[in-house]
Amino acid sequence: MANASDTSNDAQTSAGRERMWFWTREALALSLLPGTGLRRWLVLGALGGLIFAIGVGYILREFSTVDELPNFIPGAGEAILFLLAAFAAMGFALARLTGLLSDARVASLPEESIRSSILRQKGRDRLPRFVAIGGGTGLSTMLRGLKEKSRLTGIVTVADDGGSSGRLREELGLPAPGDIRNCIVALADTEPLMKDLFQYRFPDGGALEGHSFGNLFIAAMSGVTGSFEDAVSESSRVLNVRGKIVPATLENVQLVADMSDGATVTGESAIPSANGIIQNLRLEPESPLPYEGASEAIEKAEMVIIGPGSLYTSLIPNLLVPGIAEAISRRNVPVVYICNIASQHGETEGFTVTDHLQVIRHHCPNLKIDGVIVNNNMADLKIDYEASHIELGDASEFAMLGVDVVETDLMDDEIRTHHDSKKLAHVLLTLYDKLSDVTG
């Protein structure tokens, strides 16, 4: 009678054979179809097999009287050389083949074939690389519209200290997960139930009151993986995110505002409530290290998008992280600012678009901006919202700053203070084509 160990070994061997047969079957089937990128690695593997056969021939030559193969290295050197080359070629080809198939399986949508998944991923490789900087509802709205049309990286503020994010920051010392959670859900390619789960907020009356499940998930993942950045990466993988979401910094920063009356207000959530005029913003600590993934994304970007989002509490906190604005300015690619549709209480009452640009210029004097996207749908907001439209301002100032202005209808028909994600995506891609010809 076989013991448990033998049974387990037999099962592992059988599973291994099944996996080998699966990869072989998939590779052979896909190799006959154009556009998958598999044939090159199958050809390389076959070439490796041919080189392996030549190496075996040289080994046989050493132990037989047949001496038809050329002798250009003393002894069995040729055999060793060919065998090493064969193993390298076949190993590399096998790694690329299994990597392509494995990535396709992980990224495949429900009821999507492996081939369709591979072709979809290859199609994405030809899309432009965009980096979007911001936070809050505005950034997630914009990401949702662009996720099918570009390779996106969202650089998200972690200065939020209110609500669930604020409590987790205080209790666990984590960067704020809330805006990152919203952006992950916006880029997710998963079942609606999973998205609803990540956005679920626990009701009043318990220890979890006000907490978002997604925030708790990221916090728990930080404990499991040992780092906040790995938690964001793994959470993105769970929801099959199209693109990347990265924090501007991994440090637990606080936003500090110097007001026009001389007061100092500390905390992102406290600044709008101060009901004063903001003169200057800064971070504490003053020089947090930028997250390496954010800097790398900017270096590869083909367009950088700033906004939409709260000017003082979502956009500028990212640009204040040392190295972020500098990295943008070093790139010879279009840089676009998306202005909010409506003013925000405690931050931008009475502001024009040019006022927004001047505030950004005040905090980041060397940051270049090539284009500004402005909503021109002036449907009345005051019926439902305590907000007013942001007017364009003095057009001559845009010319002095060398900024192209695009005015178009960007308003969401249901939430009229918000952008419509599809309208925004269309105008961004159009402006990218225009500005790329200039900056390129």
Summarised one tens digit per residue, pLDDT across range 134-191 is 988 899 999 999 988 898 999 999 988 888 888 888 888 888 898 999 999 999 887 6
C-alpha span between 130 and 246 (Å, rounded): 13
Query: C-alpha distances in angstroms, 84 versus 42, 54, 140, 246, 254?
Result: 18, 11, 50, 41, 56
Low-confidence ranges of the chain (pLDDT < 50): 1, 32
Task: Report the C-alpha dihedral over residues 175, 255, 271, 328, rounded to 10 degrees.
Answer: -100
pLDDT of residue 37: 64
* pLDDT tens figures, 278-289: 999 999 998 899
Question: Taking the domain 129-157+248-439, which CATH number applies?
Answer: 3.40.50.10680
* pLDDT tens figures, 74-83: 666 777 888 8
Residue 219 half-sphere exposure toward CB, CA atoms < 13 A: 21
pLDDT over 70, % of the chain = 80
pLDDT of residue 1: 47
| Residue spans in the chain of domains classed CATH 3.40.50.10680 | 129-157+248-439
- Reference 156, options 232, 224, 214; nearest CA is 232
Peptide bond into 34 cis (omega under 30): no
| Amino acid letter, residue 350 | G
pLDDT of residue 262: 92
Beta strands 254-259 and 278-284: pairing type?
Answer: antiparallel
The answer to whether the CB of 142 falls within 8 A of the CB of 419 is: yes
Fill in the DSSP letter of residue 419: B
pLDDT of residue 67: 61
Q: What contacts 24+ positions apart, CB below 8 Å, involve 225-231?
A: 228/174, 228/175, 229/291, 229/293
